[in-house]
Amino acid sequence: MKKIQSSDESELQIIVTGSHLLSEFGDTYLDVERDGFSINRKIDILLASDSSVGIGKSMGLAMIGFSDAYVEIKPDIVVVLGDRFEIFSAVSAATVARIPVVHLSGGETTEGAFDEAFRHSITKMAHLHFVSTEEYKERVVQLGENPSKIFNVGAFGMENISKLKLLSRRDLEKSINFKLGKINFLVTYHSVTLEDSTSEQCLLNLLSVLDTIKNAHIIFTQANTDTGGKIINKIINNYVKLNPNKSIFFKTLGQLRYLSIMQYVDGVVGNSSSGLVEAPSFGIGTINIGDRQRGRVKSESVIDCSPDKDEIQKAFNLLLGEKFKKSVTDVKNPYDQGESSEKIYEIIKSFPLNGILKKKFYNIKYLNE
C-alpha cells in the first residue's frame, strides 16, 4: 500500500470492511488511518451473530457493499489477500464488475476450515497470483492457472519483521501493561469450522494444560469472526479475569506489538498461521493444535498435535525441552524470501491488462495417467 501511495504512476484506493469496523475487535480501521492512509469506503457487513446463518448473511451484505463501492470508485485492479469469507465476496463482486483481481497468498491449504474452499475459489476468479512458496505455486498451477501469471515472492510477514523496529522487553511490557514471566506463551486460538469436536472443548483442554505449567505467563489474542469465535473469546476473557496475574487478553495487538512479543516468548500456541509463518524467524517453537492449518508448509519448529488434552501436554513437554529449544534457534523459515512488496508492486505496475480478464484453463499433462 505504501509503494502504491508513494508512486506517481498509481493511485491507492482502500476499502475497509469486516472486523476492522467493530469496536469489539479494536476499531482497527483507525490503525489504517494512523499509518497515513485515507480510506475510500467503509463497508459494514458483520452482524451480531457468528452462526452459519449470520456469516452467510454477512457474505451477502459484502457482495452488495463491494458492488456499490466498485461503481463509485472505479478501480482498475482489485488487490486482495488470503482466504476470508469477506474477501470471497469482494472478489465475486469484482468478477461480475469485470475488474482484474490480484490475489496474494493463494495455493495454501487449511484443511480444517472453510477458508480452504474460499481461497481456491478466489484463485479461480483472480488474474495475477502472488504465492509464498514453490509448493503453493504448483498448487495454483494445478488449479488451472497459467504459470506465467503466478509469482513466488515469499510471505509478507517476513518483511514486517525486517523493517519494523521491534520494541525492547521493557518498552513492550510498558506498552501492553503486562509483566513478562520466567516462561511466556503467545496464544491465539480460532474456531475450526470443519472440525468435528467443538472449539469450546478444544480450548478448555488447552487452558487446562496451561494451568499445569508453573511460572507461565500467557498473552492471549482474540479469535476472529468465524463461526464459533464468540464463545472462544468469552472463555478466554473469563480465564483472564480469574488469572489476572499470569494472563492478559487483547482484542488486537497490531503488527509492532505482536511481532515484538515473539522476541520474548517461549512459544506460539494455538492454530493461527502466524505460528507457521512468522514464529520460525524468531527461533522459537510453535504448538499447532488441530486441523485448522493442516496442509500448510511448515518448518521443523512447528509441533503438530490433536486437540486432545494428553496430546497437548506432550506438545508442551517437547516445546519446553532443552533439546528442542536448541534445535529451533536457527531453523530455516520456508516463507522468507526477501522484500515481497517491492516485487509485487513492480510486477503489477508493469503487467499488461489488455485481455487479462479472459482466462484459458491451463491443462497439466500427467505422465502417469
Unique residue bearing C-alpha cell 483442554: 205
One domain for residues 100 and 196 = no
> Is the domain of 210 the same as that of 120?
no
Q: Are residues 102 and 193 in the same domain?
A: no
Q: What is the number of structural domains in the chain?
A: 2
**Could you give the C-alpha distances from 53 to 6, 19, 58, 92, in angstroms and in order?**
42, 17, 9, 19
Same domain? For 102 and 231 the reply is: no
Say whether both 316 and 175 belong to one domain: yes
Domain of residue 72: give its range: 2-154+337-350
- CA-closest candidate to residue 193, choices 163, 232, 166, 160: 232
Residue 203's CATH number: 3.40.50.2000
pLDDT truncated to tens, each residue of the chain (369 aa)? 998 999 999 999 999 999 898 888 888 899 999 999 999 999 998 776 677 888 899 999 999 999 999 999 999 999 999 888 999 999 999 999 999 999 999 998 876 667 789 999 999 999 999 999 999 999 999 999 999 999 999 887 788 888 889 999 999 999 999 999 999 999 999 876 555 556 788 899 999 999 999 999 999 998 876 666 788 889 999 999 999 999 999 988 988 999 999 999 999 999 988 999 999 999 999 999 988 888 889 999 999 999 999 999 999 999 999 999 999 998 998 888 877 888 999 999 999 989 999 999 999 875 454
Residues 189 and 307 in one domain: yes
Q: How would you class 8 by CB atoms within 10 Å of its CB: exposed for 0-12, middle for 13-18, buried for 19 or more?
A: exposed
How far, in Å, CA of 104 to CA of 79, rounded?
8
Shared-domain flag, residues 48 and 150: yes
In a domain? residue 57: yes
367, part of any domain: no
- Beta-strand ranges (E) seen in 87-163 are 101-104, 128-131, 150-152
Residue 256 lies in a domain: yes
Which own/partner contact pairs does 97-101 have at CB distance under 8 Å and 24+ positions apart?
97/67, 97/70, 97/71, 98/357, 99/70, 99/75, 100/76, 100/127, 100/128, 100/353, 100/356, 100/357, 101/77, 101/125, 101/126, 101/127, 101/128
Instruction: Clarify whether residues 124 and 238 are in a common domain.
Output: no
pTM tops 0.85, yes or no:
no
**Residues 55 and 116 reside in one and the same domain:** yes
Same domain, 173 and 103: no
Q: Give yes or no: residues 323 and 341 share one domain.
A: no
Q: Is residue 93 part of a domain?
A: yes
Q: Do both 317 and 346 map to the same domain?
A: no
Looking at residue 124, what is its pLDDT? 97
What whole-number distance in Å separates Cα of residue 318 and Cα of residue 301? Answer: 11
